[in-house]
Amino acid sequence: MPRRARVLLTEVGGTGSAAARDLVASGVGRPHRVEPDVVELSTLNRQTLFHDGDLGRPKLDAALTALRALNPDTEVTGERREVRGPPSPCPSTSPSSCAPCAAWDRNTAWPATPTR
């Protein structure tokens, strides 16, 4: 039932771009993006959803445009905010539960659990 599936994708960097593109291309019907950053030249080479024309643009806006063009049958949504802590299974704009996919490619998104 991929068309009814809901997935929360956090961050749209190198890992998140690939995950989002593959999920939308495979027909996952309701992906929800959470991303606070803008497209930067220093990371453009590994973020497959973006191109030179997206530089300085919010990653969320550029990603939503690219994903909707890739598969117009999906209901791609998103919010521009930073996630602090493990992703909730319910995005703030979706009352139904979904599968979280944390696609951080940096370790600053949430503090690691200390080990002893």
CA distance 4 to 77: 14
The domain total for the chain is: 1
Query: Could you list the residue range(s) of the whole structural domain that residue 63 is in?
Result: 2-102
Q: Rounded to an integer, what distance in angstroms lies between the CA atom of residue 39 and that of residue 98?
A: 27
- The pLDDT tens digits of the residues spanning 74-98 come to 899 998 887 766 555 454 544 454 6
The residues pairing with 31 across neighbouring beta strands, listed in sequence order, are 7
Q: Is residue 108 part of a domain?
A: no
pTM score of the predicted model: 0.75
Cα 1 to Cα 16: distance, rounded to the nearest angstrom? 22
Instruction: Evaluate whether residue 115 is within a structural domain.
Output: no
CA angle (46, 52, 54) in 5-degree steps:
90
Please check whether residue 69 lies inside any domain of the structure.
yes
Q: Give me 37's structure tokens.
A: 């950053």
Residues 58-73 pLDDT 10s: 999 999 999 999 999 8
66 lies in some domain: yes
**CATH code (residue 39):** 3.40.50.720
CB 91 within 8 A of CB 79: yes
Looking at residue 60, its pLDDT comes to: 92
pLDDT by residue (tens digit) across 2-59? 667 788 888 777 888 888 899 899 988 788 888 889 999 998 998 889 999 999 999 9
